């Protein structure tokens, strides 16, 4: 089977990491060519690379493949070229995010420089009630990240696809509502991207429990709520160090977090480190006692960062929605959206003061991850789907 695999392949792309792991699983069974628009800072691979641009005519080239795979996510500059080609040559979409609104806002506003087309698309998908009846402009609330989930825009990403692959049952159900072609859930083929070795020295007080959040710092990660709980609880603030690692891409939210740290006088307790190289991140992960991986709303189809945490064998605090709701209660600790502050407080207090519970949940997490998110299971499920699809498509 010959596969053309379109993907970001930057070292900074979680979807690039997914594609590297996925294609490594499949390369002994299929001939795979990686179609990349990037040329620098790429992940390592032994596969053949075909460089292209969104303006290339690839119709004849792609006709020689049995499958054409397009990986699509919510970041414009990693997925613009892939999306443009997917509209010209239909294939299978691997949809990584439920909320694609940020991509399409950028696509119409920045790339096409046509806000009127953006408004028409929104009205077409979600009705004219999203437009102000007087000015005809989009109601301001739709520019809020928290509101984007009401207008996810993934429908445009999969429009005309031959089939769709998701990484969670949650997203599969959303896709089925809007797409009448084949849809399959295939879990991540996870491979830890580092070997625990304590690359750098991390200084954490011996009597403190280390909490860690990592990834791009956005409001839906609820870091402000965690800081609030720490700041307002004498029992918790005296027992923890909370470290936050990730790009501060949302300046307004980053400033809010800094002000909260100052307000609660947590300068020696909460550290907002910004983007760090992997050797720093992984050294903190080794020392971590409890991961904080909250999402409200949950915009991704799944979570690469959560898989890192499960395989690390540590407990993770997650929000009980989206992909995270699919995980057993013995594997993660869930926070109910409607009881967010109370659940964060009670869950942290329980985990902080019960080392046996932390150990038990961590062991459950690692065992579950190894059974569900492994290379052999991914290979089996993908090849089964691909072979069935090819039979029906001929």
> Per-residue confidence at 288, pLDDT binned at 50, 70, 90?
very high
- Considering only 65-69, 134-138, 141-145, which range has the smallest mean pLDDT? 141-145
- What pLDDT is attached to residue 144? 64
Residue 213 inside a domain? The answer is yes
List 334's β-bridge partners, or say none: 318
57 with 176, same domain: the answer is yes
Mean pLDDT on 259-278? 94
301 with 216, same domain: the answer is yes
Q: For 269-286, how does the pLDDT look when each residue is reduced to its tens digit (9 = 90+)?
A: 999 999 888 889 989 999
Mean pLDDT on 1-30? 93
Q: For 341-381, how does the pLDDT look when each residue is reduced to its tens digit (9 = 90+)?
A: 999 999 999 999 999 999 999 999 999 999 889 889 999 99
> Per-residue confidence at 56, pLDDT binned at 50, 70, 90?
very high
Q: Is the pLDDT of residue 265 over 60?
A: yes
Q: Is the pLDDT of residue 74 over 80?
A: yes
Q: Is the pLDDT of residue 69 over 80?
A: yes
Q: Is the pLDDT of residue 199 over 70?
A: no
Residue 57's contacts (CB-CB under 8 Å, 6 or more residues apart) are 88
- Considering only 33-37, 148-152, 267-271, 355-359, which range has the smallest mean pLDDT? 148-152
Domain that holds residue 347: 209-372
Mean pLDDT on 21-44? 94
Residue 39 inside a domain? The answer is yes
300 with 344, same domain: the answer is yes
- What does the mean pLDDT of the chain come to? 91
Q: Is the pLDDT of residue 91 over 90?
A: yes
Here the tokens at position 120 are 């028409």
Residue 115 inside a domain? The answer is no
268 with 256, same domain: the answer is yes
Alpha-carbon distance 380 to 375, whole Å? 9
Residue 166 inside a domain? The answer is yes
> Per-residue confidence at 20, pLDDT binned at 50, 70, 90?
very high
Residue 204 inside a domain? The answer is no
Alpha-carbon distance 311 to 365, whole Å? 7
% of residues, the chain, pLDDT over 90:
70
% of residues, the chain, pLDDT over 70:
95
381 with 343, same domain: the answer is no
260 with 178, same domain: the answer is no
Residue 79 inside a domain? The answer is yes
90 with 41, same domain: the answer is yes
Residue 98's contacts (CB-CB under 8 Å, 6 or more residues apart) are 149, 152, 154, 170, 171, 174, 298, 299, 300, 301, 322
Of 117, 51, 54, 46, give the one whose Cα is nearest residue 80: 54
259 with 381, same domain: the answer is no
* DSSP code, position 260: H
279 with 368, same domain: the answer is yes
- What pLDDT is attached to residue 319? 96
91 with 220, same domain: the answer is no
> Per-residue confidence at 192, pLDDT binned at 50, 70, 90?
low
259 with 364, same domain: the answer is yes
Read off φ and ψ for residue 331, nearest 5 degrees.
-105, -35
Q: How many domains does the chain have?
A: 2
Mean pLDDT on 122-126? 89
Residue 57 inside a domain? The answer is yes
Q: Is the pLDDT of residue 9 over 70?
A: yes
- What pLDDT is attached to residue 303? 85
Residue 123 inside a domain? The answer is no
Q: For 300-314, how does the pLDDT look when each residue is reduced to its tens digit (9 = 90+)?
A: 888 888 999 999 999
Alpha-carbon distance 315 to 361, whole Å? 6
Q: For 226-242, how does the pLDDT look when each residue is reduced to its tens digit (9 = 90+)?
A: 999 999 999 999 999 99
CATH number of the structural domain spanning residue 58:
3.40.50.2000
| Better pLDDT: 143 or 24 | 24
> Per-residue confidence at 12, pLDDT binned at 50, 70, 90?
confident
314 with 382, same domain: the answer is no
């Amino acid at each position: 089977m010959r596969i053309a695999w379109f993907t970001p392949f930057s070292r900074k792309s979680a979807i690039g990491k997914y594609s590297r792991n996925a294609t490594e699983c499949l390369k002994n069974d299929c001939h795979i060519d990686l179609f990349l628009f990037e040329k620098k800072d790429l992940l390592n691979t032994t596969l053949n690379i075909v460089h292209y641009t969104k303006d290339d005519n690839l119709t004849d080239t792609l006709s020689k493949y049995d499958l054409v795979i397009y990986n699509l996510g919510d970041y414009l500059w990693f997925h613009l070229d892939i999306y443009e080609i997917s509209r010209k040559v239909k294939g299978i979409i691997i949809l990584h995010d439920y909320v694609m609104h940020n991509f399409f806002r950028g696509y119409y506003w920045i790339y096409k420089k046509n806000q009127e087309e953006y408004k028409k698309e929104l009205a077409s998908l979600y009705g004219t009630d999203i437009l102000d009846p007087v000015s005809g402009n989009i109601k301001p609330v739709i520019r809020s990240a928290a509101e984007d989930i009401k207008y996810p825009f993934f429908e445009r990403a999969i429009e005309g696809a031959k089939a769709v692959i998701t990484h969670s049952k949650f997203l599969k159900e959303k896709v089925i509502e809007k797409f009448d072609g084949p849809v399959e859930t295939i879990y991540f083929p996870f491979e830890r991207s580092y070997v625990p070795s304590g690359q750098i020295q991390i200084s954490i007080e011996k009597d403190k429990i280390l909490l860690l959040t990592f990834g791009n710092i956005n409001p839906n990660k609820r870091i402000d709520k965690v800081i609030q709980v720490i700041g307002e609880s004498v029992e918790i603030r005296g027992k923890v160090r909370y470290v936050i690692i990730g790009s501060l891409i949302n300046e307004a939210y980053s400033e809010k977090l800094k002000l909260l740290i100052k307000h609660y006088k947590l300068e020696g307790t909460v550290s907002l480190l910004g983007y760090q190289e992997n050797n720093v991140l992984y050294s903190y992960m080794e020392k971590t006692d409890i991961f904080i991986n909250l999402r409200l709303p949950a915009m991704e189809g799944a979570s690469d960062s959560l898989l890192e945490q499960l395989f690390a064998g540590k407990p993770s605090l997650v929000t009980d929605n989206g992909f995270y709701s699919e995980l057993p209660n013995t594997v993660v600790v869930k926070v109910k959206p409607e009881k967010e502050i109370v659940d964060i407080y009670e869950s942290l207090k329980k985990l902080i003061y019960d080392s046996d519970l932390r150990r038990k949940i961590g062991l459950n997490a690692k065992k579950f991850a190894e059974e569900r998110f492994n290379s052999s299971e991914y290979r089996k499920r993908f090849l089964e789907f691909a072979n069935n699809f090819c039979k029906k498509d001929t």
